[in-house]
Structure 1
């Protein structure tokens, strides 16, 4: 609380309005004699950011900093609004807002985890949802790499006749959540997005992904009865490795061996394919066959692709593979970029495009006097439809 003996002083401050015009204001600041912290009381009442920018300009700076390199963001801000800022200022303010959003989302996840119940959505929930998870590596300073985990949630479209243009499109209305975290922490933090999309309340949910153990645990913790589907392309990789290893060791297989086997798997199921691999393992010394049989044997219920397709479920994890490429890696894995671990999550594009600064729409001051960050339901990137 500010005491009567707080010092007051005047300063001229130049700020930029949304049109890029500079406005100079003379304001009387209150200063604490103990710590020296100064503030202008009306700024708090109006919930203005301490960045020296008007809310729209500050929002634009942060959004650009989340999507582009900090140098490009500064250049684009000047081109769009006529506001000149340094690269370091873009970096500083982008990471500050990102850290605030991350803290809010973590707090929400802790509350949700403690209550052990998902928040109900005021909008009607779709009856069928799909979720898909994966991890992608990003470069850190010091020459090391770390895995950023991502989960994508989408609505499943009604089945379309094979002759229509939409027949291959299985999902729509995608939203993303990414974090640099271990599997347990990631599952906890993602609970807010899981609840918001209604994963726990939907009539049916499928989880299409590769066979990583952490992904199985993620599905088990959020929707244990989800229909689990092994990504078809991932299964195809194991079959392709057999053919590749046979070629390398001079043990030739028929030219169309891979395509015939995958056609059998996709349209007739895994039984005949596994019978053939068992037969082949007794006649050819190819270690990849043993690896494939062991891998498929643990995931046989997730490989009934004809049944999944007949029910209208996607059998590929393209939506999360696309998210890794065009959402997360497009920002964090550019040429020459190496990140401090503490800056990866604040600058994650799955966090930053979904925020705006205080003073916009429903933003109000918090009890601590900090600017409240307003979370939008979905970012423009999250609204982008991806083909599954």
Structure 2
């Protein structure tokens, strides 16, 4: 009761404060489309804030050419076309990004005393996420084109990593219509979202293993094509200091689209195939030869794993070529062996470790589970692409470090002439 009373008093004070300027900006104001809108009258608008509903009485203008109205005061307060204040929008974003919309609405009511319907919580969060995504992609396009130049970090990080992967998100039938899938009926039920995480490394542990710098991770994600996602990766790399670091490294699972993306955006970067995925492929290769290895299966596999740890891909190939394979077994072995031959320069694990580099993509694997899976893959969930993209954008912003908030402010970047 005390909280409710204080919120009511606070809402009244906020209303009086906002009403001190009713937004009258003269008899005519620009409408935004090259015309002049005329003052009509003062009209009320109810805004939900962190203190509760507040009534705003502001000047209303109408453009005869565009046939629409506007209130300059709404734009100044950040509520043009919206009924939630920026503060309440941010609270709603956090709650909706954390869990299902019904739980988010209940959380806001329980913790903040703010009552919103589930549908309103959903619409506000998706609209906010879409707005953030649009701004991020506009800024990324300018950065990738070198028209927006982030200020260099001081001091510049010694090592910068970009780790890339993709994961499926369950979609509505309309979103996957006409797409091929892996199911028995050949229909797709998911769409892939591409995820990249950037982080810094400046030291090794006492045991000699690389250590990710605390609070240095930033995440980006998109349902767009690999070529479009490449622009986001390039911009994020530039913003994180890729032009200034001593060592730039990208890690992936061996998918061709990842390496095409990296080669096209940062051709001088070191490329590393995740060691865990490489070992999985080596186990698959061994299984295709099991019928010939018989009792020597374990011994042969152990020797090939040692070859892999040393980056000795020629040794793996030579060991496989010793067997006179034909037909299906030859096709299976050649397919798995091709994975190693195509990625041999990215599998120099002994050398990478001597240089103090990470050789695993665990950070992005965890991101696929925590940022995407925990929120968008719960039982019964089916998303539209736009809705999923909005929520993933909010979760990426939440997962990115506080360093991210500093670097995304206008005062920390500058446009080129």
Aligned residue runs from structure 1 range 181-192, under 5 A: 181-192=224-235
Alignment of 1:137-148 (within 5 A): 137-142=168-173, 144-148=189-193
Which ranges of structure 1 fall in alignment gaps of 5 or more residues?
356-374, 380-388
Which region of structure 1 is more displaced relative to structure 2, 187-196 or 230-239? 187-196
Q: Deviations over 1:357-382 (max 9, x none)?
A: xxxxxxxxxxxxxxxxxx82489xxx
Q: Secondary structure at the match of 2:244?
A: coil
Match of 1:69 among 80, 87, 100: 100
Question: What is the correspondence of 1:5-20 to structure 2 with a 5 Å cutoff?
Answer: 6-11=39-44, 13=46, 15-16=48-49, 18=50
Q: Does 1:220 align with 2:250?
A: no
Counterpart position of 2:132: 101
Measure how far apart 1:114 and its partner are.
3.1
1:111 lines up with 2:142 in the alignment: yes
Q: Which residue of 2 aligns with 1:385?
A: none
Match of 1:57 in 2: 88
Kindly indicate which of the two structures has a greater share of residues assigned to helix: 2
Q: Distance in 2 between matches of 1:353 and 1:325?
A: 16
Conserved 8 A contact 1:209-1:231: yes
* Aligned counterpart in structure 2 of residue 22 of structure 1, from 43, 49, 52: 52
Matching residue of 1:275:
318
> Matched residue of 1:254: which SS?
helix
Change (3 A) 1:110 1:61: same
Contact 1:132 1:207 in 2 (8 A): yes
Shift of 1:249: 8.9
Instruction: State the partner residue of 1:127.
Output: 158
Q: Distance in 1 between matches of 2:203 and 2:382?
A: 43
SS of 2:169's equivalent in the other structure is strand
Q: Does 1:156 align with 2:204?
A: no
**Matching residue within 228, 236, 257 for 2:279:** 236
- Residue 170 of structure 1 and its aligned partner are, at CA, apart by 5.0
Shift of 1:84: 0.8
For residues 313-368 of structure 1, the C-alpha deviation after alignment (integer angstroms, 9 at most, x for no partner) is 1111111111111112222222211111232322214666359xxxxxxxxxxxxx
State the SS of the aligned residue for 1:205: strand
**Contact map agreement 1:6 1:32 (CA 8 A) in 2:** yes
Partners of 2:351 and 2:396 in 1: how far apart? Answer: 39
Q: Tell me, what secondary structure is at the counterpart of 2:131?
A: helix
Number of aligned positions between the proteins: 354
In structure 2, the CA distance between the partners of 1:227 and 1:71, relative to structure 1 (3 Å rule), is same
Q: Are the structure 2 counterparts of residues 352 and 209 from structure 1 closer, same or farther at C-alpha, using a change threshold of 3 Å?
A: closer
Name the TM-score, length of structure 1 as normaliser.
0.79
Partner Cα separation in structure 1 for residue 202 and residue 322 of structure 2:
39
Deviates more, 1:240-249 or 1:289-298: 240-249
- CA RMSD between the two structures: 3.2
Higher relative contact order (CA 8 A, sep 6+): 1
TM-score for both structures, normalised by structure 2:
0.74
Change (3 A) 1:268 1:8: closer
| CA apart distance, 1:49 | 6.2
1:254-269 matches, cutoff 5 A: 254-267=297-310, 269=312
Q: Secondary structure at the match of 1:312?
A: coil
Cα displacement string for residues 206-231 of structure 1 (whole angstroms, at most 9, x for unaligned residues): 11212222111221122211111111
User: Do the aligned partners of 2:313 and 2:341 also contact (CA within 8 Å) in 1?
Assistant: no
- The Cα offsets for residues 96-129 of structure 1, whole Å up to 9 and x where unpaired, read as 1122122212221222233378533243221211
Aligned equivalent of 1:206, options 234, 243, 249: 249
Partners in 2 of 1:74 and 1:135 — Cα distance? Answer: 30
- Find out whether 1:289 has 2:333 as its counterpart: yes
Report the 3-state secondary structure (helix = DSSP H, G, I; strand = E; otherwise coil) of the residue aligned with 1:27. Answer: strand
**Does the C-alpha gap of structure 1 residues 346 and 259 become closer, same or farther in structure 2, counting only changes over 3 Å?**
same
Q: Which moved more, 1:177-186 or 1:277-286?
A: 277-286
Match of 2:222 in 1: 179
Q: Distance in 2 between matches of 1:223 and 1:235?
A: 23
Alignment of 1:33-44 (within 5 A): 34=64, 40-44=71-75
Shift of 1:247: 5.1
Equivalent position of 2:14 in the other structure: none
How many Å separate the matches in 2 of 1:39 and 1:180? 34
* SS of equivalent residue, structure 2 residue 55: strand
- Aligned-partner Cα distance in 1 for 2:53–2:258: 53
Q: 2:97·2:391 contact (CA, 8 Å) conserved in 1?
A: yes
